[in-house]
């Protein structure tokens, strides 16, 4: 089950597609960078894997930058609250797996942030079936009470 969850996170970030607002409120969140990577060292410092094709048994990283999220304020500090959900589907839409709160991001700042970044990594299981998968990535903004859903494809060979 854990291996499938990790695979879903990883599979969600390859080929960009149209983002959809999933809330009645206008969602201004968007990924400014969503790249597969061979390695991530720091903000903006990573080795991109532009093909988004990964072999079984290989470790892959996804480097992400997002903006347009709500920012709260408590006393002299600013904060953001983002939660990420993922679901894995076949190209025909058959849902294979879904998991809420794969990532719970709470960050505090002295100055109001315009964007934030994070990365995830996964070891593609040696037994993962070859093929193309669709992953739904949902980012829920706890401050603005909006959400963003993106559908991404990835190839495992």
Q: What is the CATH number for 108?
A: 2.60.40.770
State the total domains in the chain. 1
Mean pLDDT in the chain?
Answer: 81
The 3-state DSSP composition of the chain as helix, strand, coil percent (nearest 5) reads 5, 60, 35
Q: Which residues of 104-113 are buried (b: 16+ CB within 10 A; e: fewer)?
A: eeeeeeeeee
What are the φ and ψ backbone dihedral angles of 5, each rounded to 5 degrees? Answer: -60, -45
Q: Quick one: pLDDT at residue 25?
A: 61
- C-alpha distances (whole Å) from 27 to each of 100, 133, 145, 157 are 19, 26, 9, 35
pLDDT (tens digit, 9 = 90+) per residue, 20-64?
444 446 779 999 999 888 899 999 999 999 988 888 888 878 888
Task: Grade residue 11 by pLDDT with cuts at 50, 70 and 90.
Answer: low
Q: What is the largest CA-CA distance in the chain?
A: 51
Expressed as residue numbers, the domain containing 145 is 2-156
What mean pLDDT is predicted for residues 137-157?
Answer: 89
Which of residues 126 and 109 earns the better pLDDT score?
109
């Amino acid at each position: 089950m854990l291996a499938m969850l990790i695979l879903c996170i990883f599979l969600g970030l390859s080929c960009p597609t149209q983002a959809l607002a999933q809330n009645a409120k206008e969602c201004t969140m968007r990924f400014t960078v969503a790249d597969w990577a061979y390695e991530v060292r720091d903000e903006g410092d990573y080795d991109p894997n532009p093909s988004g094709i990964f072999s079984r048994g290989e470790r892959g990283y996804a480097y992400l930058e997002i903006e347009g999220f709500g920012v709260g304020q408590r006393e002299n500090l600013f904060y953001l609250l983002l939660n990420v959900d993922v679901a894995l589907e076949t190209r025909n839409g058959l849902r294979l797996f879904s998991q809420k709160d794969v990532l719970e991001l709470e960050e505090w700042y002295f100055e109001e942030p315009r964007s934030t970044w994070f990365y995830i990594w996964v070891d593609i299981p040696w037994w993962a079936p070859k093929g193309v998968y669709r992953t739904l990535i949902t980012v829920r903004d706890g401050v603005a009470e909006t959400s963003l859903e993106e559908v991404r494809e990835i190839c495992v060979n």
